[in-house]
Structure 1
Amino acid sequence: MIFKKKTQFILHKFPKILVAYSGGLDSTVLLYNLVKLRKIYPYIKLRAIHVNHNLNFYSNQWSKTCFLQCKKWNIPFICKNIILNNKKGNIEERARIERYKIFNNFIENNEIIVTAHHLDDHYETILLFLKRGSGLKGLSGISKIHIINKLRLFRPLLDISRKKLLHYAINNNLNWIDDQSNLDNKYDRNFLRNVILPQIHYRWPFFKKSVLKTSSICREQEELITELLNSVMKKLIQSNNSLFLIPLYKYSFVKRNSIIKKWIEYNQCQIPSNKILSIIWKNIVCSKSDYKSYLKIGIYQIRKYNSYLYCIKNYFTLKNKIYYWNNILFPLTLPNNLGKLFFLNKCEKNTLQVRKPKNKEKVYIKFYITGKYFFSEHIKKKIKIHDIWKKLNIPIWERDNIPLLFYNNLFIAELKNNIVTLEGSNNKEKNFIFWNKKNIS
């Protein structure tokens, strides 16, 4: 078996393993060894997942090859197709993002995902991060155990070279897919692997060993910084994952940059460069506008509101959208994973109660309004809804996506904080359960 004893010990502690299986040399060796491990530990539940990116003429054929191999080894096989419509930009990065979204969708409880990253991948990744001007985190390379959005990753081949994997596959008569796109030097990793590194190794045979040693030192330094900043981060990071900014104004340039970088990493966002950190500080943290100033980093946005910095996923604004509920006997599904609206006969905890609409009243959900409304039925004076949201500390970008319930032109309730009730409502009138918070994702 190609796994080292320590790796075998870690793997056998996971009864459920999902293997990222491309059909290439690396993942074939990985899957083959996991099959051998399953014979030693029969309780291991092994599955394979193959993502067809549809970037190659032979993509469908490769999917079939992977299916047949898994059938031969008696491994449940999952195949998922993705289409990257716009092939501009960093297509490798976009494919990776889509791939991990799929992994998140198919992963089971207590299951770990195993990938076939090896020592050469680790080495090349360090050099690519060096090209991008990354700091200690990037130069630390690939982690053997990693968590992405609660997805647990393990890379058991990370300390094994590709050369050793190739010899192993040949000696064990394994068949694998050769992807000819690995020879296309328009991709940075291929250019590095096929053109640059052979010349470097010819000139400096020790270069690879030196890079990996430097990476180990960088990882130790990164762990030290994390340890030293841990107590500060606990005080600054709020329960909603936002970052309290006021103390940062007193810190040194180096310390505040490290804190913001660690906070961004904590939110599972892409590690920012020093240039990006400078933009965040000057254009967002020091900006007088909480609404207009923001920065996109991958699928996330960095925003500020009331002395707090937020890292939120890119979203589709629902401002001025209207959704009619034509038949209240059936649930109304709200957009942007906001949940469902429905009537219940019995009262439940954490639910909003409002009166049932009259026969001629049109029921609809609207997003974004202006004007004055009653704060509650116990307060007769109308208050601007903008002031209510401000008092409740609701960030500006969230307000456009808050469902607002209307009967005809009558504003009934705001379905986020239950802060507004029916105008002129009759306390003697029977209330109905209208919205269940459990449906809000």
Structure 2
Amino acid sequence: MNPSPQLQQAASAAVESAMRSFAPALPLAVAFSGGADSTALLLACVRRWPGQIVAVHVHHGLQSAAEGFVAQCRHFCAQHAVPLKICHVDARNEPGQSPEDAARQHRYAALIQAAREPWADARGQALAAVQSLALAQHADDQVETLLLALSRGAGVAGLAAMPAHWQRADLDWYRPLLQVRGELLRAWLQAQGQGWVEDPTNVDERYTRNRIRARLLPALQQVFPQFRATLARSSRHCAEAAELLQELARDDLATVGSPPQIKSLQALSAARQANVLRHWLRSVHGTTPSAAQLDQLLLQIAACRTRGHRIHLKLGHGFVQRCGSALDWYNSQVLV
């Protein structure tokens, strides 16, 4: 069914507005699955910056439909003269790792590797090095991410949901469609006469995100029609708060030292201790403690008033222990 003229008009306005505010350094690589969202993003980018867009498709090898995704990507890119790289990854999860997290980690690694490789345009002429990467998450994805974070009891960093722009591996990353509803992206593609493929796992309600999409978003639409905009505003407020906490944590870590001195930690409030310890563990040791683990460490720090007081606690994927006047962290698997 073709979208109504009103929906087509709203879709066109939303996509045009998103692209007007999108100003990446070129050439730009677009993560391209062949689905509606990434097809809309890639088509919009190709029309705005012809000859400066390349596409990367990550083949996860997790479902039989994957070859159909590849075929759709090849067809679209040949039709629009877009250079395409297909990256095959083994996205199976490790013990204790969720399938979604494993696929995401492998996908990001493949995108970074592909962006760093040499590219040529449709005529075989070498392109300049890729400067930016664009992902196609949209307004509904942002709401789903926020609701997932709420369901897990996340702090302000988690409630900030997905950033529209960040830097990683010397690349600028963008999500230019975060203000556009998924329904509008599909309506826009239909108005352009552009097809896409549907991922069959998107309707599999064994995944929490799919249950949110199928059950919660329609209910929110009925009760709070503007929920996308208001929840996105809440996420922006959380992102600002998370940035302030990060700045405070950096300042406090400079004061307490790395590894942190116990007496210096004790001079801070419990909230600031938790904030700086999270920052220390994440930035220096690449691990994140649970709330219960961090609460236990704070109790031990408060009780640590004698030389003989021992601290040895599981935090993240390692252990925090007392070493003289300071705390230290280690991973026993790395030491073996």
So what's the TM-score if we normalise by structure 2? 0.77
Q: Report the equivalent of 1:15.
A: 26
Distance 2:84 2:41 in 1: 15
Q: Report the equivalent of 2:270.
A: 253
Deviation (angstroms), 1:272: 4.7
Are 2:238 and 1:213 aligned? no
Distance 1:153 1:32, change over 3 A: same
Distance 1:228 1:150 in 2: 25
Distance 2:166 2:181 in 1: 20
From 252, 276, 279, the equivalent of 1:262 is: 279
Distance 1:311 1:122 in 2: 35
Are 2:46 and 1:35 aligned? yes
Q: Report the equivalent of 1:63.
A: 70
Distance 2:328 2:17 in 1: 44
Calculate percent identity across the aligned residue pairs: 25
Deviation (angstroms), 1:232: 2.3
Q: Report the equivalent of 2:198.
A: 178
Contact 2:30-2:54 within 8 A present in 1 as well: yes
Distance 1:10 1:276, change over 3 A: farther
By percentage of residues, which structure has more strand? 1
From 89, 103, 107, the equivalent of 2:111 is: 103
CA deviation vs aligned residue, 1:32-55 (integer Å, no higher than 9, x gap): 11111223xx5x3x2211111122
Report the residue type matching 2:27 in the other structure.
Answer: K
Deviation (angstroms), 1:189: 0.3
Contact 2:19-2:176 within 8 A present in 1 as well: no
Unaligned runs of 5+ in 1: 318-396, 401-441
Partner secondary structure for residue 49 of structure 2: helix
Distance 1:22 1:133, change over 3 A: same
Report the residue type matching 1:94 in the other structure.
Answer: A
Contact 1:48-1:78 within 8 A present in 2 as well: yes
Structure with more contact order per residue of length (Cα contacts < 8 Å, sep ≥ 6)? 2
Q: Report the equivalent of 1:91.
A: 99
Distance 1:106 1:280 in 2: 42
Contact 1:284-1:294 within 8 A present in 2 as well: no
Distance 1:236 1:79, change over 3 A: farther
Instruction: Quote the RMSD (CA, aligned, Å).
Output: 3.2
Whichever of the two has the greater Rg, that structure is 1
Distance 1:99 1:36 in 2: 26
Distance 1:170 1:211 in 2: 28
Q: Report the equivalent of 2:37.
A: 26
So what's the TM-score if we normalise by structure 1? 0.60
Number of equivalenced pairs: 302
Distance 1:102 1:267, change over 3 A: farther
From 81, 85, 90, the equivalent of 1:78 is: 85
